[in-house]
C-alpha cells in the first residue's frame, strides 16, 4: 500500500515538474530589479518632501476640482442661510408672514371686522363706470343707429362690414318681379 502511494505520488511529482517549465515572458527579469529600485527611490523622494507637498501630490486635478466645487457650494449655502431675510424682516416689509407668525401678530378683533363671504355665494364688486365706458357699451342698445359696424343691433338688422372683393358681393334682389306685381 505504501509503495503504491509512493508510486502515485511519484507520478504526481513528475506532473508537478511541468510547473518548473512555466517561464515569464523573455527579458522579464532584465528590468525587474531596475523597476524595484525606481519605486524605492520614488518612495524615498516622496518621503523627503514636506508634509504639505505630499498632501498635494496625493490629490489629482479631478479630485481637487470636485473638492473645491463642494466647498464653494457649501459656502454659498451657508451665506444664503445667514444673510437671508428673517421672519421679523418679512413682517416689517409688509409681506405675508409665515402661518405661525400670523397667528401671533394679527389680533382676533381684526379678523372679526372683515366681512366674510358666504361659502357658496359668488362675490363681485360693483364699480361706477366712466363716461367713456358708458358710451361704448350702452349706446348700441339704446340707440341702434349708433351701433358700430359689424355689431348686432336690437332692431334685427345686422350691418356686416362692406366686402372689399366684388366677386363676393351678395346677389341683387329681383326688381322685375316686384314691377309685375305692382302692374297687376
Query: Is residue 43 part of the contact set for other proteins (CB under 8 A)?
Result: yes
Query: Is residue 29 part of the contact set for other proteins (CB under 8 A)?
Result: yes
**Binding residue for other proteins (CB under 8 A) from 2, 3, 17, 94?**
17
Of 30-38, 65-73, 136-144, 170-178, which part binds other proteins (CB under 8 A)?
30-38
Strand partners, 158: 152
Q: Which residues contact 87 (CB under 8 A, 6 or more apart)?
A: 97, 98, 101
Q: Of 32 and 59, which CB lies nearer to other proteins in the complex structure?
A: 32
Gyration radius from the chain CA atoms: 51
Q: How far is CA 145 from the centre of its chain?
A: 56
Residues 51 and 59: beta-carbon distance below 8 Å = no
**Minimum distance between the CB of residue 4 and other proteins, rounded to whole angstroms?**
9
Binding site for other proteins (CB under 8 A): 8-9, 11-25, 28-29, 32-37, 39-41, 43
Amino acid at each position: 500500500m505504501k509503495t503504491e502511494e509512493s508510486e502515485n505520488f511519484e507520478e504526481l511529482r513528475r506532473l508537478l515538474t511541468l510547473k518548473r517549465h512555466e517561464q515569464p515572458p523573455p527579458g522579464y527579469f532584465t528590468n525587474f530589479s531596475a523597476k524595484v529600485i525606481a519605486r524605492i527611490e520614488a518612495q524615498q523622494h516622496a518621503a523627503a518632501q514636506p508634509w504639505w507637498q505630499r498632501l498635494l501630490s496625493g490629490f489629482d486635478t479631478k479630485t481637487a476640482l470636485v473638492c473645491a466645487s463642494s466647498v464653494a457650494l457649501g459656502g454659498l449655502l451657508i451665506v444664503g442661510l445667514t444673510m437671508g431675510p428673517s421672519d421679523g424682516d418679512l413682517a416689517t416689509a409688509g409681506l405675508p408672514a409665515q402661518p405661525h407668525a400670523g397667528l401671533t401678530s394679527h389680533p382676533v378683533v381684526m379678523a372679526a371686522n372683515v366681512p366674510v363671504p358666504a361659502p357658496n355665494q359668488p362675490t363681485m364688486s360693483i364699480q361706477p363706470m366712466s363716461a367713456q365706458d358708458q358710451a361704448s357699451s350702452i349706446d348700441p342698445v339704446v340707440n341702434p343707429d349708433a351701433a358700430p359696424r359689424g355689431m348686432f343691433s336690437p332692431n334685427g338688422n345686422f350691418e356686416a362690414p362692406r366686402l372689399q372683393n366684388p366677386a363676393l358681393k351678395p346677389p341683387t334682389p329681383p326688381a322685375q318681379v316686384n314691377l309685375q306685381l305692382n302692374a297687376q
